[in-house]
Amino acid sequence: MKPAPFAYKKVRSLEEAVGLLGEHNDARLLAGGQSLIATLNMRLSAPALLIDINGIGGLDGIAQKGGTVEIGALARHAQAERSDIVAKFAPLIARAMPHIGHAAIRNRGTLGGSIAFADPAAELPACLLALDGEIDTTGPKGKRTIKVTDFFKGLFETALGPQDVLTAIRVPSAAAHSRTGFAELARRHGDYAIVGLAACARADGKGLTDVRLAFFGVGTTPMRAKTAEAALASGNVDAAVAALDLDPQDDVQATAAVKKHLAGVLLRRVAKQLMEAR
């Protein structure tokens, strides 16, 4: 199918984008477009106006400062995949990158777009939850910083207001004691996962503390499995799998029972990664 007609405006500043969002009720922001244009082609969405933010300067940086890694909303997946800063200071995101779409998609798709779209089966929202990250936005009342725990509200629903533009994500820099793990199961490499798991922890002697397990593809948002986290921190992988506090629903890819089983398989794989030295 082909998109329904829409108007198109390429903006050069955040103020211009926020202003246009205020003037038009039925406008959408166009960043990488790798989800949005697919939905336009299928007429799952038909906005009156597309506001192309790709021409706004200074939104695609990747920098490490003051114990955090900041990634601009317009940084492309391929850029993060090649980034030494991401590899060194945000290794969980580096681990997730190769699983996101395919090479041609990663050349266009943006990190900010992936977070703002909030697909429940996407990798980056789960990474952000595991890392306890933050999201920066600019709106009509100025800048806001939203904690990840307050950001993902429901199925494709976030804390972004109708005039907010996501500008950056921030995660704590990895330290020597940081451990990360990532795994997902998909029918074809690069497709949306049936189930996936992004995890981080802190190495403490031979054990782990501060275990954070963020599953995706098992609910309407990325989900922590907190009972399993506590079990894994005490060193018992079997108990962690048995304690998996997830309640997935059937979807087109798999039944709830299969998803729950696969979540356990992934937990064992990721537990092994977390135990290894980084």
Listed ranges 44-52, 152-160, 232-240, 247-255: which one lies at the site for another protein (CB under 8 A): 44-52
Query: Of 235, 241, 226, which Cα lies nearest the Cα of 275?
Result: 235
Q: Does 54 bind another protein (CB under 8 A)?
A: yes
Listed ranges 103-111, 237-245, 246-254, 266-274: which one lies at the site for another protein (CB under 8 A): 103-111
Per-residue contact track with another protein, 167 to 206, x per CB under 8 A?
Answer: ---------------------xxxx---------------
Strand order in the sheet with 27-30: 7-10, 49-52, 27-30
Q: Does 28 bind another protein (CB under 8 A)?
A: no
Among 2, 66, 67, 205, binds another protein (CB under 8 A): 2
User: What pairs with residue 170 in β-bridges?
Assistant: 70, 134
Least Å from the CB of residue 82 to another protein: 10
Among 87, 105, 256, 258, binds another protein (CB under 8 A): 105
Paired tokens of 235 = 């060193």
Listed ranges 66-74, 87-95, 99-107, 201-209: which one lies at the site for another protein (CB under 8 A): 99-107
Distance of alpha carbon 165 from alpha carbon 13, whole angstroms: 11
Closer Cβ to another protein, 42 or 257, answer by number: 42
Paired tokens of 189 = 């490499």
Closer Cβ to another protein, 22 or 161, answer by number: 22
Characterize the bridge pairing of strands 62-65 and 223-224: unpaired
Q: Does 63 bind another protein (CB under 8 A)?
A: no
Can you point out the beta strands (E) in 40-141? 49-52, 62-65, 68-72, 134-139
Least Å from the CB of residue 33 to another protein: 6
Query: Of 75, 81, 135, 72, which Cα lies nearest the Cα of 108?
Result: 75
Least Å from the CB of residue 83 to another protein: 15
Q: Does 257 bind another protein (CB under 8 A)?
A: no
Q: What letter represents residue 265's amino acid?
A: V
Distance of alpha carbon 47 from alpha carbon 235, whole angstroms: 51
| Residue 188: other Cβ atoms inside 10 A | 7
Paired tokens of 155 = 């199925």
Query: Of 144, 140, 133, 141, which Cα lies nearest the Cα of 166?
Result: 144
Q: Does 42 bind another protein (CB under 8 A)?
A: yes
Q: Does 264 bind another protein (CB under 8 A)?
A: no
Q: Which residues bind another protein (CB under 8 A)?
A: 1-10, 30, 33-34, 37-38, 40-42, 49-50, 52, 54, 78, 98, 101-105, 107-108, 188-191
